[in-house]
Amino acid sequence: MASDDLRPAVVVVDGSADAAPPTADVVAVRVSPGADGAVPGPDALALGQQLGVDIPAYLQREKARGEAGEITAMPVLPAAPKGPKTVLLVGVGDASARSLRKAGAAVVRRARDARTVATTVAVDADALAFRAFVEAVLLASYSYSLKTSSKPSPLRKVTVVYAGDADAVDRATATARAVRLARDLINTPSMEKTPAWLAERAVRYGERAGLDVVVRDEQALAAEGFGGILGVGGGSSRPPRFIEMSYRPRGARGHVVLVGKGITFDSGGLSLKTSDGMVTMKTDMAGGAAVIATMTALGELGVKTRVTGLIPAAENMPSGSATRPGDVLTHYGGRTVEVLNTDAEGRLVLADGLAYAAKNLRPDVMVDLATLTGAASLGLGRVHGALFSTDESLADHLLTAAETAGEQLWRMPLVEDYRDALDSDIADLQNIGNPHKHYSGGAISAALFLREFTGGMPWAHLDIAGPARSDKDEGEITKGGTGYGVRLLLRWLEQAAPV
Ligand code: BES
Ligand code: MN
Ligand code: ZN
């Protein structure tokens, strides 16, 4: 766990594209694709000269191709006592942000056991690609472990030579710190991670970042009519919370509300999941984690928009006090919902959050993030988030921000014809689609349900059930909680006014 103290520290030093990097345990230099295999960059040639090795010959012998993220390791004999122990010849492909993101991740993964790394791999990259490189270094080196035997990686310093504006490093560091915070929150087991615990963390990290944080406990929720959050949290001995984080920069342009699903554990409630289906459900607050983490980085990134983060947090458990199938909840603002499946709980807590925002905050835009449906993950896989939006320009901006940030997002339709499946016989709505309507498309009906609570304001919904967690380490993504959403939200808020 390392969100307070970023390890490794990335230190940027000014330098030119044709000099070898400063020395370190591991030194990483560029190679690019050429017609006959990898072509060393001028930095690699300078290093070869310094060390007295024929780098082009070595690349040829190793059949290196220079593709993004390809690593050709070259051990260095102890002839040079103060020199590097290992040289990494790192493929940068077309040197785009995407390629350098791969390269950055590959470098730290290969250098995990070293103490220091120095690299010229991104020395003359454009600012976006350089930022992607540094973010990948800081994200691929993340790990989470509660093993009594686990030792933190010895890697403590990555010196990055860069000819451009070093401001990109500060932005990358702030972004990566936020993503790592989200991962820590997601990876924490639910025995520790109660709604109250999540709220405490939001207060701690939020106040450290200069935000106002207000937490409503179960009495306040009852007094103000948050029936969705109370209904979902009612089965647990650990009561729900509603977290409100506010960022108000001076002279703010516009107001964005972010809402994150904060189910600290999803057993399904009385509509109990299978044991297999429950195993990963400590991650059901990944949307909330992304919102908390995003909020903490807004100041550092100089975001000019007012942003409010709302996290309805509850533990979905079966018990004598749990909501029963057939119960009717009254949401914030008064609308009634018949609960036909207690495992469709995310939309119930989000409905309160969206209704609260629409009534009290009247923002220019609302965006929610939620591990909402298995269907989203089934349809789009484990890499893409599903985007639904009532506003074309908001959707376009989010898609662009995701692309720039290195997160995959895919637009899905809000199919009007499916809406009538949510009509209840006895309440305003029901929380799952009527099975007799045979529409299928579970991610779509969930999104249509949420739309009912947005008060007609421009709104986007990101169903992140697929990408919120990963089963493997790959590129800058680490096994467990991925922190998906933080990078794209921050890019969007940094660049854009509200819509
Ligand atoms: N948290 C789950 C969705 C989920 C499933 C996320 C698998 C990640 C992996 C959500 O609360 C849920 O249980 N959704 C149900 C909805 C259904 C009952 C309409 C689902 O997707 O099966
Ligand atoms: Mn559920
Ligand atoms: Zn859930």
Predicted confidence at residue 1, as pLDDT, reads 37
Q: How far is CA 273 from CA 176, 279, 355, 496, in A?
A: 34, 10, 28, 40
- Check: CB of residue 398 under 8 Å from CB of residue 460: yes
- Say how far apart CA 323 and CA 231 lie, in whole Å: 6
Residue 266 Cα: closest atom of ligand 1: 1
Q: What is the torsional sign of CA 301, 244, 311, 434?
A: negative
Q: What is the torsional sign of CA 5, 6, 8, 11?
A: negative
Predicted confidence at residue 3, as pLDDT, reads 40
- Check: CB of residue 142 under 8 Å from CB of residue 39: no
Q: Pick the closest to residue 67 from 43, 41, 34, 45 (CA basis).
A: 34
Residue with tokens 């009717």: 328
Ligand 1 pocket test, pick from 267, 276, 316, 373 with the greatest ligand atom count within 8 Å of Cβ, gives 373
Predicted confidence at residue 312, as pLDDT, reads 99
Could you tell me if the CB of 325 is within 6 A of ligand 1? Answer: no
> What one-character-per-residue DSSP string does 300-355 give?
TTT--SEEEEEEEEEEE--STTSPPTT-EEE-TTS-EEE-S-TT--HHHHHHHHHH
Q: Report the SS3 class of residue 166.
A: coil
- Check: CB of residue 268 under 8 Å from CB of residue 342: yes
Residue with tokens 């050429």: 34
Q: 78 exposed, middle or buried (CB, 10 Å; 0-12, 13-18, 19+)?
A: exposed
Task: Give the number of the ligand closest to the Cα of residue 339.
Answer: 1
What are the two backbone dihedrals, phi and then psi, of residue 101, each rounded to the nearest 5 degrees? -65, -45
- Say how far apart CA 43 and CA 25 lie, in whole Å: 17
pTM for this predicted structure? 0.97
Could you tell me if the CB of 432 is within 6 A of ligand 1? Answer: yes
- Check: CB of residue 163 under 8 Å from CB of residue 124: yes
Question: Tokens at residue 128, please?
Answer: 């976006």
Q: Pick the closest to residue 305 from 175, 491, 488, 493 (CA basis).
A: 493
Q: Mind listing the pLDDT tens digit for each residue in 297-314?
A: 999 999 999 999 999 999
Could you tell me if the CB of 371 is within 6 A of ligand 1? Answer: yes
The active-site residue out of 171, 238, 347, 419 is 347
Q: What distance in angstroms lies between residue 347's CA and the mean position of ligand 2's atoms?
A: 9
Question: Tokens at residue 439, please?
Answer: 């529409």
Q: What distance in angstroms lies between residue 374's CA and the mean position of ligand 1's atoms?
A: 5
Question: Tokens at residue 354, please?
Answer: 């969206």
Q: What is the DSSP letter of 389?
A: E
Could you tell me if the CB of 442 is within 6 A of ligand 1? Answer: yes
Q: What angle do CA 441, 442, 444 make, to 5 degrees?
A: 70
Q: Mind listing the pLDDT tens digit for each residue in 205-236?
A: 999 999 999 999 999 999 999 999 999 999 99
Q: What distance in angstroms lies between residue 350's CA and the mean position of ligand 1's atoms?
A: 14
Active site residue 273: yes
Q: Mind listing the pLDDT tens digit for each residue in 271-289?
A: 999 999 999 999 999 999 9
Q: Mind listing the pLDDT tens digit for each residue in 399-422?
A: 999 999 999 999 999 999 999 999
Question: Tokens at residue 484, please?
Answer: 């998906």
Q: What is the torsional sign of CA 258, 259, 265, 268?
A: negative
In this predicted structure, the answer to whether residue 356 has a pLDDT above a threshold of 70 is yes
Predicted confidence at residue 439, as pLDDT, reads 83
- Report the chain's mean pLDDT, rounded to a whole number: 96
What are the two backbone dihedrals, phi and then psi, of residue 390, each rounded to the nearest 5 degrees? -95, 0
Active site residue 204: no
Which pLDDT band, with edges at 50, 70 and 90, does 363 fall under? very high
Could you tell me if the CB of 431 is within 6 A of ligand 1? Answer: no
Predicted confidence at residue 152, as pLDDT, reads 85
- Check: CB of residue 228 under 8 Å from CB of residue 348: yes
The active-site residue out of 65, 115, 273, 437 is 273
In this predicted structure, the answer to whether residue 195 has a pLDDT above a threshold of 60 is yes
Which pLDDT band, with edges at 50, 70 and 90, does 76 fall under? confident
- Say how far apart CA 26 and CA 43 lie, in whole Å: 15
Residue with tokens 């249509």: 448
